[in-house]
């Protein structure tokens, strides 16, 4: 094996294309933190190094679900207590006390929430509305997802329930905290409202690549 020691390599003549090797050759770059699955990156001065593609991951991220039914007062927003974490990578989700998601890294995040909202009794058409609301640092910050009563058929004796899904794309600081509030409002206040558990209701978030 021969070595050529030079300070710079430029294309010959008028061409601006510099070709190293052929289609069947392997070009190796020694040093620079070489390792499996690393990518070639450059700094502001054109210096190149091999590094893990951290920016290509949708992290921080998490997903948590409600393991059992949670009772709700009628016509009152209450925090949903997603108590079981199914997956997490970075950031902090409190599944025991505050039920808040704190990303730990500033960026643009996707928020996802699905709730099964149910009232156990009365008529199916008695549910006047059902809502999901995201809260940022203790205050509502994106438009709520509202489910008004649009039933057009005759009342029956089946209980009323609905699944709502609310997705949002938001910019968060590292220390922001997010939680989910839910509301059910129906005319038969003697019956119990609740958020359906058993994985039917979940809350998740992940950071967009490059944000």
Which pLDDT value is given to residue 48? Answer: 74
The β-bridge partners of 40 are 50
Please, what is the end-to-end C-alpha distance for the chain in angstroms?
Answer: 45
pTM of the model: 0.72
- Positions of the chain with pLDDT under 50: 149-158
Q: Are the C-beta atoms of 131 and 144 separated by less than 8 Å?
A: yes
Which pLDDT value is given to residue 66? Answer: 98
CA gap 80, 166 in Å, rounded: 14
């Amino acid at each position: 094996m021969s070595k050529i020691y030079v300070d710079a390599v430029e294309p010959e003549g008028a061409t601006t294309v510099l070709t190293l090797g052929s289609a069947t050759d392997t070009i190796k770059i020694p040093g620079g933190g070489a390792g499996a699955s690393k990518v070639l990156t450059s700094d502001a001065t054109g210096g190149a190094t091999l590094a893990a593609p951290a920016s290509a991951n949708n992290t921080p991220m998490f997903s948590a679900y409600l393991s059992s039914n949670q009772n709700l007062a009628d016509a009152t927003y209450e925090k949903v207590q997603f108590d079981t974490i199914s997956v997490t990578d970075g950031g902090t989700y409190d599944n025991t006390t505050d039920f808040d998601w704190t990303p730990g890294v500033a960026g643009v995040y996707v928020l996802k929430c699905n709730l099964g909202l149910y009232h156990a009794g009365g008529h199916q058409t008695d549910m006047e509305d059902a809502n999901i609301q995201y809260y940022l640092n203790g205050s509502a910050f994106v438009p709520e997802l509202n489910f008004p009563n649009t039933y057009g058929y005759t009342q029956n004796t089946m209980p009323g329930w609905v699944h709502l899904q609310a997705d949002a794309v938001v910019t968060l600081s590292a220390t922001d905290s997010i939680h989910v509030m839910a509301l059910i409002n129906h005319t038969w206040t003697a019956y119990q409202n609740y958020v359906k558990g058993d994985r039917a209701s979940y809350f998740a978030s992940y950071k967009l690549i490059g944000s």
